[in-house]
Amino acid sequence: MNNMKLNLCLLALALLAPTLLYPVFLAKVLCFALFACAFNLLLGFAGLLSFGHAAFLGTGGYVTGYLMIHSGLTPEVAILLGTIAGGLLGAIFGKLAVKREGIYFAMVTLALAQLIFFFYLQAPFTNGEDGLQGVPRGALFGLIDLSDNMVMYYFVLVIFIAGYWLINRTIHSPFGQVLKAIRENEDRATSLGYDVNHYKWLAFVISAALAALAGSTKTLVFELASLTDVHWHMSGEVILMTLVGGVGTIFGPVLGAGFIVTMQNYLSGGEMGNYIHIIMGAVFVICVLSFRSGIVGQLMKFKRNNF
Amino acid sequence: MTQPAQDFILETRNLTKAFKGFTAVDDVNLNIQRGHIHALIGPNGAGKTTVFNLLTKFLQPTSGKILFQGEDITPLKPAAIARKGVIRSFQISAVFPHLSVLENVRIALQRKEGNSFHFWRSEKILNRLNHKALALLESVGLESFANTVTVDLSYGRKRALEIATTLAVEPELMLLDEPTQGMGHEDVGLVSDLIKKVSKDRTILMVEHNLHVVSKLADRITVLQRGAILTEGDYASVSADARVREAYMGTAADDVDTKQTAEVAS
Ligand SMILES: Nc1ncnc2c1ncn2[C@@H]1O[C@H](COP(=O)(O)OP(=O)(O)OP(=O)(O)O)[C@@H](O)[C@H]1O
Ligand SMILES: [Mg+2]
């Protein structure tokens, strides 16, 4: 019940926010929040650290961007196809990665993501360093023009809520139960008859598809798909967002993404722009050393101790 | 070598496992009779856990065969062997620590429901298993802990929970690796009574160091030493065997031998 109230408050906040803050900035926060939540599904609930999630974000972005420029499809279809493309790529990555454990899993995902990066760098349809610029936002279902930032924001909010709901549901589903069991004790899950790699694989595919959904949506918001989104920096950034917010908590990655994106926005404008990576690095170190459970973990502890 | 027509649920034929030239399991022929409690004993490092790992395919045998109910299961994967009805426990307790006690058992019940890949449905549909899970918890005396987070259970209760979880999948053959290890007197008694109780209509192969427990429970005993079978028989005959006594007394000397063998071989 309490949770319900909290969710309603957050929803009200999200609905009113664009009257106070720049809607494109808010849409950006939501895209990264979805990206981080998708990543966290894997790290927090299946115990798998992917260092290649930029590949899915970027693939969603490129596919959707390309379709919007060249095909005349409506945006919701282009986003759906971008999401499916990310899911398919995830199916291949997952197949190769889930057989490995721990750091080797991370290395396989990183290696594959680098491969994808070089593919997009060389492929003729991505425009290399320039990226796909001037991606039209189109009209939703051919009816609702998305060129207005306010309208775009609310569309992004709907997508975010849908994605967030699906992640939440996945975590609290029969599948999610098995996933948690695998995270807790993989050998025991095996000895009860679960083919653990199949479950990890499905978690990977869902996570990849939702990361691609975030990328597809982001491309529409910025009218741009570029190499930034497939660069390994991006794979690192999503780890940062998740850890800062609270890995394994459902809402943590949303806060983490909000925090990091806000910080980047403020820093990149001013004189501090040159130091952005150093500052981010420092934030990371501070977080890891002083509150391992992230912002949400810390808040929950505070609540437990004081109420 | 002809066997009389007996009902063996599990047989191994010349089962061997070598690690980098060191043979941890050496040409082992086990015959586990259906309905028995069969104990596997032997000094530290004799290869007991390795045998379990081979039987459940957590390790790949170097050579030899494993037959379960007459069928060659050697090529199967661990999860597939579990689905055949061979369920193992682990030497260190095997629970899901941050799930509730009830959820631990439910995970085992869930697999046969066929909804374990359903990520779009609410976990509430699993509540229909609660009744059965509670009944299983009751059978091991844990019903009042159903909502406890498992990590908070005492060691003995964790082992009891493990047994309830194993029973939930209705195993044909239970493999228990030192179920009473590290327990106080009371817990040892409780767990061994529990094993006796659940052995009613199934077969159990257990590794056990506590010879008192072995004497109380085991229908048949196989003694393993340096990977090979030293002898086999009922408790009276095995405990009378001078070589078994020596193997147990000479544990320390034995370790040295094993290490030397390993060095020479590598
Ligand atoms: N994965 C492995 N790689 C190399 N050597 C191994 C491996 N697993 C076990 N061994 C070795 O095989 C031998 C048998 O080990 P195992 O764990 O099967 O003994 P055990 O009979 O279960 O002993 P304990 O009573 O101490 O549990 C030991 O010498 C051990 O060091
Ligand atoms: Mg052992």
- Residue-level pLDDT at A270: 67
Crossing angle for the helix pair A174-184 and A196-222, to the nearest 10 degrees: 110
CA-nearest of B201, B213, B80 to A198 is B80
Pocket lining: B30 vs ligand 1, CB cutoff 6 Å: no
Average pLDDT (B201-216) is 90
Query: Smallest Cβ distance to A173: which of B80, B96, B122?
Result: B122
Apex CA A143: angle with CA A146 and CA A70, to 5°?
65
Q: In which band, very low, low, confident or very high, does the pLDDT at B266 lie, cut at 50, 70 and 90?
A: very low
Query: Which of these ranges, A253-257, B79-83, B184-188, B248-252, has the smallest mean pLDDT?
Result: B248-252
How far is the C-alpha of B205 from the C-alpha of A89, rounded, in Å? Answer: 45
How far is the C-alpha of B18 from the C-alpha of B248, rounded, in Å? Answer: 23
- Tell me: ipTM over 0.85: no
Q: In which band, very low, low, confident or very high, does the pLDDT at B29 lie, cut at 50, 70 and 90?
A: very high
Quick check: B107 and A181 CB within 8 A? yes
Token pair, residue A53, equals 């999630």
pLDDT per residue rounded down to tens, chain A (307 residues): 567 888 888 888 888 878 888 888 999 999 999 999 999 999 988 889 999 999 999 999 999 999 999 988 899 999 999 999 999 999 999 999 998 888 898 899 999 999 999 999 998 888 888 888 888 888 788 788 878 888 899 999 999 999 999 999 999 999 999 999 999 999 999 999 999 999 999 999 999 999 999 999 999 999 988 888 998 988 988 998 888 888 878 888 898 899 888 888 877 766 666 777 787 778 777 777 766 677 777 777 777 766 6
Confidence check: pLDDT of B54 > 80? yes
CB contact set of B132 (below 8 Å; sequence gap of 6+): B109, B168
Please tell me the distance in Å from A249's CA to the nearest CA on chain B: 14
How far is the C-alpha of A211 from the C-alpha of B37, rounded, in Å? Answer: 52
Q: In which band, very low, low, confident or very high, does the pLDDT at B265 lie, cut at 50, 70 and 90?
A: very low
Pairing of β B37-41 and β B220-225: parallel
How far is the C-alpha of A305 from the C-alpha of A299, rounded, in Å? Answer: 10
How far is the C-alpha of A214 from the C-alpha of A241, rounded, in Å? Answer: 15
The residue count of chain B comes to 266
Apex CA A124: angle with CA A123 and CA A128, to 5°?
75
> A 104-163 residues with CB below 8 A of B?
none
Show residues of chain B in contact with A177, CB under 8 Å: 103, 106-107, 110, 116, 123, 126
- Residue-level pLDDT at A134: 86
Quick check: A191 and B87 CB within 8 A? yes
Question: Cα of B209 to ligand 2 centre, how many Å?
Answer: 10
For the stretch A168-208, pLDDT in tens is 999 999 999 999 999 999 999 999 999 999 999 999 999 99
How far is the C-alpha of B193 from the C-alpha of B11, rounded, in Å? Answer: 27
Query: Smallest Cβ distance to A193: which of B103, B111, B126?
Result: B111
Token pair, residue B221, equals 């005993």
Please, are residues A173 and B118 in contact by the beta-carbon 8 Å criterion? yes
Question: Cα of B93 to ligand 2 centre, how many Å?
Answer: 12
Query: Which of these ranges, A257-261, B140-144, B184-188, B248-252, has the smallest mean pLDDT?
Result: B248-252
Show residues of chain A in contact with B83, CB under 8 Å: 193
Pocket lining: B46 vs ligand 1, CB cutoff 6 Å: yes
Pocket lining: B53 vs ligand 1, CB cutoff 6 Å: no
Query: Smallest Cβ distance to A194: which of B79, B120, B165?
Result: B79
Average pLDDT (B149-169) is 90
Token pair, residue A110, equals 């990183």
How far is the C-alpha of A66 from the C-alpha of A207, rounded, in Å? Answer: 22
- Is B67 in CB contact (< 8 Å) with chain A? no
How far is the C-alpha of A156 from the C-alpha of A177, rounded, in Å? Answer: 30
Confidence check: pLDDT of B1 > 80? no
The structural domains of chain B, ordered by start, are: 5-94+171-265 (3.40.50.300), 96-152 (no CATH)
Show residues of chain B in contact with A201, CB under 8 Å: none
- Residue-level pLDDT at B261: 38
Residue A175 CB-density burial (10 A; 0-12 exposed, 13-18 middle, 19+ buried): buried
For the stretch B118-128, pLDDT in tens is 999 989 898 99
Taking residue B60's Cβ as centre, other Cβ atoms within 10 Å add up to 10
Residue whose CB lies within 8 A of the most ligand 1 atoms, among B28, B41, B48, B251, for a mutation test:
B48
Atom from ligand 1 closest to the CA of residue B52: 18
Please tell me the distance in Å from A297's CA to the nearest CA on chain B: 16
Atom from ligand 1 closest to the CA of residue B209: 25
How far is the C-alpha of B169 from the C-alpha of B252, rounded, in Å? Answer: 39
Please tell me the distance in Å from B126's CA to the nearest CA on chain A: 7
The residue count of chain A comes to 307
- Hey, what's the torsion of the CAs at B58, B61, B66, B72, to 10 degrees? 90
